[in-house]
Structure 1
């Protein structure tokens, strides 16, 4: 085949792959967020810190970070399991060193020995995509031995252009991370020691993590670009609080299946094949004796 034909074939194949990816993931077939009614911010949350850096307009919450402070909010109740979500819109441009996040934690109840389930957007530099980091860890902060279980992704859309729904479904036997109802990660309960089971609150915040957030701390927060803004709306919060009866059950992640359906697994595999950029289980630098679930 002439070289020009080879080049044409390669370009055509590349374009086909790009167009396929641009269409987004396969349909998951089931949409958990549609089963849960949204709540107003005041129905489910309160300001935790940086009140002067937080503005509520109807049911849209804006929080921001500048050289004086960031801001955070916290759910009114502590939960044993449930569906926890919000639509989030990120700031474009230079956001290196800045974390915008939605996460479950019991740090205030167990300082230095807490559990956490994270959705974190790691700020970036112009021309480079945001990194969506998911993380799970147990009893692991303050002692210098935090054992993270990070999986990182790029997204198949620009998260600065529109609001998109991000959620954590935390159940007694599994954790599912979802983006626009598409599962991107499943963390099953394999052994009790590697699964968070103590009650947690839901938090959101924006803060300076210059030491590690962007390319391992290579790029820092630059306050000539301040304020750095995170926008939240469409809050979804449904689960079993610490006051709920023992019979309480969390929302289902699928219809007719104990866990993800085959269609949801295919959608998740598509995301992981095309957009996952880091998996702690495959990192040769990690001490795998500390992550037995891998």
Structure 2
């Protein structure tokens, strides 16, 4: 499951009046969506069924497959997780996810790439993690990238955290990671929210990874730096997944294999319209950026 040694209470960084404005923006009836990215990569990639691409990894008794939808849940006995059948060198990895409403403090629902089972204690990871919350406060979507994590609490995380411009408990929304040799792009409903370029070999994950999803108890850090814990009087906590997208280069693919693009033809990276949409999201809904945290040792994150 995802590790996150640098998981921060964003209230330490954001003045309270900013939080109030953000809350009003998110929960207000006139919440505005982002400008159109102009290109919708999720429509270009055919969905696959869960059994075509995945298997249960842990907590099988807390996992239910209903046609094309997978439900996993956490209670006081166990959470649950799943794993792709193949390991990938690059690709587009996505799913539509619907989150649990109400009190979800301490609970993480995730979709992430990792090679932890191949390199225990020294692995790479690219994360989408939904940090549970308390009623009246929005979920935090945390993106993270790290390389050769030690697994002992000294992982150098590269977290960027966002609120969302919609309520992720009301319906399914598409979340995706594009991982290429040159860049990583995180997308929400086809809108890029973060781009992580490869600036050096030391700051970029290159070893093959599997795609995972899970729901688990991270009470020690997930909600306001561990202030609020998982409360099992609200169990079970449920995560729902559907519309799985899994297209890329496996470790068996030929060297000529190329991953799908998330940008219109003719652009090596994001188009200007996609950049504009990403900048809109980051200006209005980003609540933490590791590069802007004065408490971080910036010698350890030279890409900033």
What is the CA deviation profile of residues 46-89 of structure 1, one whole-angstrom value per residue up to 9, with x for unaligned ones? 00000000000001000000000000000000000000000000
- Which segments of 5 or more consecutive residues in structure 2 lack a partner in the other structure? 3-15
Closer, same or farther in 2 for the Cα pair 1:9/1:219, shift >3 Å? closer
Closer, same or farther in 2 for the Cα pair 1:143/1:221, shift >3 Å? closer
What is the TM-score with the length of structure 2 in the denominator? 0.90
Q: Which has the higher helix share?
A: 1
What is the CA deviation profile of residues 124-162 of structure 1, one whole-angstrom value per residue up to 9, with x for unaligned ones? 000000000000000013243200000000000000000
Name whichever of 284-293 and 136-145 sits farther off: 136-145
Contact 2:248 2:258 in 1 (8 A): yes
Closer, same or farther in 2 for the Cα pair 1:276/1:15, shift >3 Å? closer
Equivalent residues in 2 for 1:47-86 (5 A)?
A: 47-86=56-95
Closer, same or farther in 2 for the Cα pair 1:200/1:21, shift >3 Å? farther
Contact 1:64 1:70 in 2 (8 A): yes
Q: Distance in 2 between matches of 1:204 and 1:87?
A: 12
Structure 1 residue 9 corresponds to structure 2 residue 11: no
Equivalent residues in 2 for 1:118-267 (5 A)?
A: 118-254=127-263, 255-267=265-277
Contact 1:21 1:156 in 2 (8 A): no
Say what the alpha-carbon RMSD is for the aligned residues.
Answer: 5.6
Counting matched residue pairs gives 290
| Structure 1 residue aligned with 2:281 | 271
Query: 1:23, CA displacement in angstroms?
Result: 2.7
Instruction: Specify the structure having the higher radius of gyration (Cα).
Output: 1
Aligned match for 1:19, one of 25, 28, 38:
28
Contact 2:22 2:285 in 1 (8 A): no
Closer, same or farther in 2 for the Cα pair 1:47/1:289, shift >3 Å? same
| Structure 1 residue aligned with 2:296 | 286
Q: Distance in 1 between matches of 2:20 and 2:108?
A: 37
Q: Distance in 2 between matches of 1:202 and 1:291?
A: 25
Closer, same or farther in 2 for the Cα pair 1:17/1:227, shift >3 Å? closer
What is the CA deviation profile of residues 166-194 of structure 1, one whole-angstrom value per residue up to 9, with x for unaligned ones? 00000000000000000000000001100
Q: Distance in 2 between matches of 1:149 and 1:9?
A: 23
SS in 2 for 1:290: coil
Closer, same or farther in 2 for the Cα pair 1:120/1:166, shift >3 Å? same
Contact 2:26 2:166 in 1 (8 A): no
What is the CA deviation profile of residues 180-229 of structure 1, one whole-angstrom value per residue up to 9, with x for unaligned ones? 00000000000110000000000000000000000000000000000000
SS in 2 for 1:96: coil
Q: Distance in 2 between matches of 1:23 and 1:273?
A: 13
